[in-house]
Amino acid sequence: MPLFRYEAINPAGQKISGTHTADILSQVETWLAQKGLTPVRIEIAAETDLAPTGAARYLKDLRLAITDRFIGVTIEDLILFCRQLSTMLSAGIAVLPALEIIVRQMDNPRFKKIALAVADDIESGVTMSDSFAVFPRTFNKLFLNIVRIGEETGSLNSSFEYLADLYENEKDIKERINAATRYPKLVLIAILGAVTFLMTFVVPKFVGLFSKSSATLPLPTRLLIAISDFFSHNLLLLGIGVVLLATAWRLAMQYDGVVLAWDRWLLRVPILGELSVKIYMSRFCRVLAVLSKSGIDIITGLRLSASALENLVLFRMAEDVLGEVEEGVPLNTAMAKHPLFPPLVVQMVAVGEETGEVDQMLNKVADYYDKETNYTIKNPATLIEPLLLLVMGTMVGFIA
C-alpha cells in the first residue's frame, strides 16, 4: 500500500505537511477533507511495506536504476503509448478497450506489465490518474497532473496528445544535445584513455632509467613519476574510493538541503545552467498554457505547472510566484520579481492578461525559450571542440 506525502492548509490558514497511507490518491483527499484540511499537494512518497532507509534504500534504488537502464520504459515507449491512446480516445473508443488494444501491440515487457496493472485498476473502479500514480518511476508528477486534468475536464484525448507532444519535444532536445556533444565526448574519452595508458604503461618503463641516473630530475618529471606510481600501485583503492563516493552521493541526495545546494550550483554552471533554465521554463510555460486553455484557473494551473520543474530552485521560484498570485498580484508582476523571467517574457504575459489570451502568449513564451535552447545548444559546441583538442595536446605534451 503506497505512502502518500501531502501538504495542506488547515482552517487557520497555515500550511502543514505529513504522510498518510492509502490505496489511491483520492482516499488521501477524502481523509484530508474529513479533517478539515484543504490539500495543496499530494504525491507518492514510498511503499510502506518496502520503505528501506540508508544503505538498504540505496541498494534498492541502484537495482531499480539498473533495471530501468536495460529493460525500463523509454521515452519512445511513452510517446507511442500517449499517441495511440489519444488517437483511440478521439475515435470514441473507451479507455479499457483502448488499453487492451495497445497492450497487445507492446514490445516492452516491463511497460506491458505496467499497462496491464493500470487496466486492472481502472476495471476495479480506480481512476486512471490514480492507477498511473502507483508507478512513479514511469509516470512522473507532470504526467499524473495532466491526466488528472483530462479526467476532470473530460478531455483525456487532448491530455494524452499534449503529453505525446511534450515527450517528443524532450526527445528532440536530448537528441540535439547528444549530437552537439558527441564529438567533445569522444575527444574527452580519448584524452582520458591516452593519459591512463601513458601513466600506467609508458611512464613506469622510464622510471628505472631515471632511477639509475644521478642527475636531478625536473619538477614536472618528478611529479609525473609520483602520479604514475600512485596509479600503478593503488588501482584497487581507487576503485573502492569511486564506489564509496558514488554511494555517499546517492545517500546525500535523499536530503532536500543537499538537493537544493546541488540544483543551485547546477544553475550557475556556464552553458549547462543557462540551458537548464531555458528547457524548464519552456516546459513550465507550455504546461501552464495547456491548463489555462483547458479552463483551469491560474492558481491551480501554477500549482500543477510547478511539477514540471525538476530543479528544486526553480520549483521554489514557481511556488513564490504562486504565493504572490494567490495574494492578488498579477502573474506578470509576480514573474517580474524573479530574474529568471526576462523583461520580454514578462511583457508578453502582461499583454496576454490584458487581452484575455494568456494561453496563447504562454505558448509564444515557450516557443521563445525553445529557440533560445536551440541557440544555446548549437553555439558552445563549436567552442568546446578546439578547446578540448588544445587540452589534449597540452596534457600529452606534458607527459611525453
Percent of the chain with pLDDT over 70: 84
Q: Count of domains in the chain?
A: 2
pLDDT digits (tens, 9 = 90+) for 72-83: 789 999 999 999
pLDDT reported for residue 160: 94
Tell me if 147 is assigned to some domain: no
pLDDT reported for residue 346: 87
Whether the Cβ atoms of residue 325 and residue 339 lie closer than 8 Å to each other: no
Tell me if 392 is assigned to some domain: yes
pLDDT reported for residue 166: 86
> Does 62 have pLDDT greater than 60?
no
Q: Which of 214, 366, 231 is nearest to 289 (CA)?
A: 366
Whether the Cβ atoms of residue 58 and residue 250 lie closer than 8 Å to each other: yes
Q: Which of 33, 51, 69 is at the close of a domain?
A: 51
Distance CA 1, CA 3 (A): 7
Where does the chain show beta strands of DSSP type E? 2-9, 15-21, 38-47
- Beta-bridge mates of residue 17: 7
| Nearest-5° Cα angle at 146, 142 to 148 | 115
Tell me if 319 is assigned to some domain: yes
| Nearest-5° Cα angle at 126, 124 to 128 | 120
pLDDT averaged over every residue in the chain: 81
> Does 19 have pLDDT greater than 70?
yes
Tell me if 86 is assigned to some domain: no
Tell me if 225 is assigned to some domain: yes
pLDDT reported for residue 51: 42
Where does 29-153 show beta strands of DSSP type E? 38-47
Distance CA 71, CA 113 (A): 12
- Structural domain range at position 257: 181-400
Average pLDDT on 148-168 reads 89
Tell me if 103 is assigned to some domain: no
Tell me if 222 is assigned to some domain: yes
Q: Which of 195, 179, 193, 199 is nearest to 385 (CA)?
A: 179
Whether the Cβ atoms of residue 119 and residue 136 lie closer than 8 Å to each other: no
Whether the Cβ atoms of residue 187 and residue 389 lie closer than 8 Å to each other: yes
Angstrom CA distances, 354 to 37, 291, 296, 345, 347, stand at 34, 18, 18, 14, 11
pLDDT digits (tens, 9 = 90+) for 227-281: 777 777 777 888 899 899 989 998 888 888 888 999 999 888 887 888 888 888 8
pLDDT digits (tens, 9 = 90+) for 267-297: 888 878 888 888 888 888 888 888 888 778 8
Q: Which of 118, 101, 112, 108 is nearest to 76 (CA)?
A: 108
What CATH number did the domain enclosing 338 receive? 1.20.81.30
Coil, helix or strand for 50? Answer: strand
> Does 141 have pLDDT greater than 80?
yes
Burial, 190: exposed, middle or buried (Cβ in 10 Å; 0-12, 13-18, 19+)?
Answer: middle
Average pLDDT on 377-389 reads 66
Tell me if 91 is assigned to some domain: no
Model confidence band, residue 54 (pLDDT cutoffs 50, 70, 90): very low
Coil, helix or strand for 367? Answer: helix
Coil, helix or strand for 178? Answer: helix
Model confidence band, residue 2 (pLDDT cutoffs 50, 70, 90): low
What CATH number did the domain enclosing 23 receive? 3.10.20
Residue type, 95: V
Distance CA 53, CA 37 (A): 29
Q: Which of 244, 149, 285, 86 is nearest to 277 (CA)?
A: 285
pLDDT reported for residue 76: 93
Average pLDDT on 353-364 reads 87
Pairing of β 15-21 and β 38-47: unpaired
Whole-model pTM: value is 0.67
Average pLDDT on 332-353 reads 86
Residue 201 C-alpha cell reads as 604503461
